[in-house]
Amino acid sequence: MRRLAPGFAVSGLLCLGCSGADPSSGQQALFRIQGAQYIPGPIDTGDRDPTPVVSNISTANNDLFPGVASKKISGSVGPKSTAVLVGLQGDVGHWVVPVQDPDQITVGNYTFSFSASFSPLTPAGDAGNLLLAFRATTRDGQVGPAKWQQMTMDQPRVAGALVISLDWDTEADLDLHVQLPSDGDAGVNEIWSRKPSGLPFGTVGASVDSGMQAGYLDFDSNSMCVIDGRRLENVIFPDTVPSGRYIVRVDTFSLCAEATARWRVRVFANNGDDSVLQAFGQSTDIDTRFSHGQGAGVQALVFDN
């Protein structure tokens, strides 16, 4: 059980470079590819051979959050390619991904695909931008030109005395549920996407008795698979935070034709100055098969205020 307190450290972050991990294993890398061969050292992006080329890269969407896992990336490479070198700009190493099948769209090309993860400590440049480099290679060691893919590491944050935030990485319909520290209707007092608070935004000075509703849900993203691209919901307590135990759950209302949705829940205190808690998870088709009303969803966090 966790209790909010000023200056509480962020939980669950990896201590890269301080665990004594073998630098040849890839465990120190910020960007990792499941099942690929790791090569220590940054990916070389200087001028090399004109072929083979990386023809295209597909990422579904380019918005990420720190700690995201199983991010699907695929593409196509030119004739004679046998593998693709992939690396995050500024990382301590890069990866070798073998090609797979002949490309059914472009004759002579080959396809590649992989699942990647990004450490919670992955730094990003201005506006959260980061760059992945891709280079096709041949069996005899010929390395083609680098093709860059820009992605964005989002750090959404909303001001309030207490903010509980859910964001995710595909165009699915996920819902944030926050069970409040008091009995309410049916024994549960809960703020959730289809039952937001009845008090107006910015309610000030609510008592504990009436203030169980002082928090509110700011947005129901991708509701009923009407895609808005936001993929972010917050339960915000603007000024008064009731004391007691909070239970935070994530309900997968629908995947909206997506295969999965990787999500993150964060808790902010003191107008966003303190990132107090965070948790990560992944929704699959199984998660859509349960009820979606009050009390629904998988438990992400429990904390006391």
pLDDT digits (tens, 9 = 90+) for 225-266: 998 878 889 998 888 888 889 999 999 999 999 888 889 899
Residue 12 pLDDT > 50, yes or no?
Answer: no
Q: Distance between CA 33 and CA 96 in Å, rounded?
A: 9
Q: Distance between CA 292 and CA 298 in Å, rounded?
A: 11
Identify the CA nearest to 179 among candidates 89, 296, 64. 296
Q: Distance between CA 1 and CA 302 in Å, rounded?
A: 6
> Which tens digit of pLDDT belongs to each residue from 104-119?
999 999 999 999 988 8
What percentage of the chain carries pLDDT values higher than 90?
47
Note the pLDDT of residue 191.
87
Note the pLDDT of residue 56.
96
Say which residue, 11 or 57, is predicted with more confidence: 57
Note the pLDDT of residue 211.
43
Residue 19 pLDDT > 50, yes or no?
Answer: no
Contact 128, 154 (CB under 8 A): yes
Mean pLDDT of all residues belonging to the chain: 81
Note the pLDDT of residue 24.
65
Residue 186 pLDDT > 60, yes or no?
Answer: no
Residues facing 303 on adjacent strands: 2, 246
> Lowest-confidence range among 39-43, 116-120, 135-139?
116-120
